[in-house]
Chains A and B, each alone.
Chain A
């Protein structure tokens, strides 16, 4: 230990370089993790934030609210499945809107007939809509009292934000939870030829004693045209979520690969450079185990220091927003990545440790230690 610490103190610049490299990699990993979480929340937050425990799409809709159309016969059949306590329609469409007279932007209207089956589950401010023309907006995009006008060819309906919900975006678009009539009015405004507004999904509540998962299975078994999912399943299985996760996992894999590569090669080079000293130490009685412990201690200190520094850099950034994505400090991610990177760092030092163990003290008398 004494040797390990002394060496770090003597060659500060070299070890500081590696600490900085590990810190930067840790910082990048944690930022990417926060971006992934923020992106998925912005993609399906409204589905998680809505109040219906079970969502039933039509099979044709392929688990997207905007793509699914539940025809009246199917909606009635869903309501009749044993175990259904209540059922109500939900629909979502994206429009071009103007907020408080500003330039055009996108706005998704998430419409419900029953606030307990498709309305926002909880609010961070304000109240639920009491009448047509009122909405609960996604908290990062709207403020209480905002006036939103849907831009279309017909008479543009105006919507006032009376409540706010956290993490309530859908399709990475500013989202407004509105009453059914507001969605119908908005659709007519952009398309005067529009026919009946059919639900994209049916929000369902199970009777007491039946879980959402069991009810979803019952509905699927009873109705071949229905695709029933619990709230969490509906969020996770929305097309695109798995692809986002896979893309980020590939990035994480690459980062996780770099840390042991850099650390391993660094310590191998260092071991090569000081092989003469190590041979001499071995020749005068230093046990190989002690030399390896010293090496591993350095790996722990360097990787640990890098992780700590990377986390410190990440902490202030995790309190900010990137575009409309809200980043959050996730202690679980930090702990998991810290443990993984430490383990990989130690694993990567094995080659260097092997080299230390193979040192032959006789070489101290022949000058072979330098090779």
Chain B
């Protein structure tokens, strides 16, 4: 093992190519993971911020907020069955016109109407046409007091505060009262207008009954999910996760192949040297440990460089642009994947090391 480490220190140039390729692979892995985390955070913030633990949709909505419709009668049945506190929730996705931007420069936003305040929002929804904006909209020029005009009807709402990490469907959000949501919806999407008391979903906090009991109490008119289930049911989220996971695993597989081939090459080059070492009494295990140590060291250096690059990238990206976040968990997981890949890659050299005959040191193989 000492020999392997000494070789790394004395002849680092020999490992530059592998370290460079592995740094690229590690950077790619962390970039992909960071993008996935950023995209997921940007799509689910509005749900993650909910103080409630359950979300009730109408049964025929297929767990889609925009297709769900809870009438006052159904709401009463839910409240009776669930206990705790129930708050109505409504949403509409619209183009927002922000002062200072061109006539075609429309910013996509989701306006939420709420009763049960999500974390970071005031307990009582802003009065009148006031809204709380997600902090990501600051990068689009939204400030305290900005009047935003929503949709083709240019319905005006005024920003009275900010909340962080409440994005939804990759878009910045605005949070107002249910009355504001109803008015904006009726003006801009008449075909989706919500009648008095009608909401898209109910958020339940401190409910005594479980989802099945609630749905039974409404005679099957509702479908109740926990917040994590509702997040998982968001359209496109699981597909996005699958595609990214696939790319991440392919990248790890590439890492295994690169390490395997690189150390196989190094082993082939060192065959005569290993023959001499074996003739002097070194065991196959010692030689393999040396290869393993070198592979892990090269991977650790590559991972450290990639972590530095990821953190620098995360710091350099302006808020609201590329959805990239570098979390400690993601960086640690990516490093762990690569270290496992390094060990797996080295195993391919094991057979070659075992087959080295010490007699070859004195030309015994001929």
Please say whether chains A and B are actual partners in one complex: yes
Complex CA gap A104/B69 in Å reads 16
Residue A131 CB within 8 A of the other chain: no
Given contacts A60-B94, A94-B67, A273-B268, contact A195 B186 (CB under 8 A): yes
Interface-centre pick from A60, A225, A370 (highest chain B CB count, 10 A): A60
Across-interface contacts of A140 in B (CB, < 8 A): none
Residues of A within 8 A of B258 (CB): 261, 265
Beyond A96-B67, A194-B190, A269-B264, whether A59 also contacts B103 by CB under 8 A is: yes
Interface size on A, residues (CB 8 A): 49
- In the complex, the answer to whether A247 meets B243 with C-beta atoms within 8 Å is yes
Q: Is the CB of B268 within 8 A of A371?
A: no
Summarize A's interface: helix, strand, loop or mixed: mixed
1/0 contact string of B189-233 vs chain A (CB within 8 Å):
111111100100000000000000000000000000000000000
Contact flag A262-B67 (CB < 8 Å), given A58-B152, A96-B60: no
Interface residue? B106 (CB, 8 A): yes
Option from A96, A227, A250 in Cβ contact (under 8 Å) with B62: A96
Q: Are A224 and B69 interface neighbours, CB within 8 A? A: no
Mostly, the B contact residues are helix
Interface residue A95 (Cβ < 8 Å from any Cβ of B):
yes
* Chain A residues within an 8 Å CB radius of B246: 251
Cβ of B272 within 8 Å of any chain A Cβ, yes or no, is yes
> Contact at B108–A269, with CB atoms within 8 Å?
no
Are B152 and A190 interface neighbours, CB within 8 A? no
- Chain A residue contacts of B64, Cβ below 8 A: 94
Residues from chain A with Cβ under 8 Å of B103 in the complex: 59, 224-225
- Contact, CB under 8 Å: A268 / B189: no
- A59, B191: Cβ atoms under 8 Å? no
User: Which residues of the other chain, B, contact A272 by a CB distance below 8 angstroms?
Assistant: 265, 268-269
A196 to B153, CA, bound (A): 14
Identify the stretch in A3-11, A252-260, A280-288, A307-315 within 8 Å (CB) of chain B at 4 or more residues: A252-260
Closest chain A CB from B37 CB (angstroms): 15
* B262 contacts chain A at the CB level, 8 A cutoff: yes
Question: Quick one: given A69-B189, A196-B191, are A104 and B152 in contact (CB under 8 Å)?
Answer: no
C-alpha spacing A61/B60, complex, angstroms: 26
With A60-B94, A194-B191, A254-B247 as contacts: A269 and B104 at CB distance below 8 Å: no
A-B pairs with beta carbons under 8 Å apart, 19 shown: A58-B152, A60-B151, A61-B95, A69-B152, A71-B153, A93-B191, A190-B60, A190-B67, A194-B190, A194-B191, A196-B190, A224-B104, A250-B32, A254-B247, A262-B261, A265-B261, A265-B262, A268-B265, A272-B265
Residues of chain A whose beta carbon lies under 8 Å from any beta carbon of chain B:
58-62, 67, 69-71, 74, 93-96, 104, 106, 151-153, 187, 190-198, 224-225, 227, 247, 250-251, 254-255, 257-258, 261-262, 265-266, 268-269, 272-273, 370-371
Query: What residues make up the interface of B, taking CB atoms closer than 8 Å to A?
Result: 21, 28, 32, 58, 60-62, 64, 67, 69, 71, 93-95, 103-104, 106, 108, 151-153, 186, 188-195, 198, 243-244, 246-247, 250-251, 254, 257-258, 261-262, 264-265, 268-269, 272
Given contacts A69-B151, A153-B69, A254-B247, 20 further A-B contacts (CB under 8 A): A60-B95, A61-B95, A67-B93, A70-B152, A71-B152, A93-B191, A96-B61, A96-B67, A191-B192, A193-B194, A194-B193, A195-B191, A198-B190, A225-B103, A225-B152, A227-B104, A247-B247, A262-B261, A268-B265, A269-B264
